[in-house]
Amino acid sequence: MSFKEKCNTGIRELDEMLIGGIPRGRTILVEGPPGTGKTILALHFLVAGILMYPKHPEPGVLVCLDESPNDLIREANAFGWDLQRLMELRQLIIIDAFSGRLGLKPDLPFAVPVGKFSTDTVMSRIVEAQQDIKAMRLVVDPVSALLDELEGEERRKAVLRLSALLSRQSLTTILTTELEKAGVGVERYAAHGLIRLTYKEADTKVGRRLRIVKMRETMHSMDIIPFEIGKKGIELKV
């Protein structure tokens, strides 16, 4: 597949495993227990879209649901990613869908205000943000937090509305989710691809592992790859 059909992830070895990257316009789920590196993987993807193609950057939108955008910006800084600058360049919009839920006044323009949190509000913010910077990439981190308050049929419908919106907007999307959360099956069903991050305990050390569980429309590696999180983010030990 050509560059046009695949969207790089910013992690070279992962792109090789995916024979070029994620199929464009599709939604993939990155699942794993807390701390495995889901948010960092998603940041690689957003930053790569902007910085790896200086002539034709692919702007991105990040919906931040489980931590404050300021914390996220600080964490990203540790890997050399200056999200603040990317926002100033209008290549990145962070939607603060976190502060309002805690009753705190968000300080970013594309926030979900106090008392207004719902799947539909978040979805309309995504559309506004996408139109504002002509975004091509989207991350919802974690999608489980978006669906937390919904159950059964209502939850299923929200997932379907979200996936319909994403394919209509032709965004290449990474949704993250924690493995243990109930109802994850629905998100998994709606996603075109699934990447799983896990811990593996050895005698005195815990290692991280990455595996592509499924990826429609493309061949991919079936290997289980150890990885580390280092100064530059995720490093696969292929």
Residue closer to ligand ADP by CB (options 150, 229) is 229
For the bound state, the minimum distance from the C-beta of residue 209 to ligand ADP, rounded and expressed in Å, comes to: 13
Question: Is residue 34 involved in binding ligand ADP (CB under 6 A)?
Answer: yes
Asked whether position 39 contacts Mg ion by CB under 5 A, the answer is: yes
**Would you tell me how many other CB atoms lie within 10 Å of the CB of residue 56?**
8
DSSP labels, 150-194: --HHHHHHHHHHHHHHHHHTT-EEEEEE-TTSTTHHHHHHH-SEE
Using the contact rule CB under 5 A, the part of the chain among 39-47, 57-65, 208-216, 220-228 near Mg ion is 39-47
Site string for ligand ADP, 208-237 (x = CB under 6 A): ---------------------x--------
**Residue 85: its H or E element:** helix 83-88
> Nearer Cβ to Mg ion, position 27 or 177?
177
Stretch of 7-15, 31-39, 82-90, 210-218 lying at the interface with ligand ADP (CB under 6 A): 31-39
Q: CB count, 10 Å around CB of 27?
A: 23
Q: In this structure, what token pair is assigned to residue 51?
A: 């910085």
Rounded-to-integer distance, Cα 234 and Cα 60, Å: 19
Give contact residues for Mg ion (rule: CB under 5 A): 39
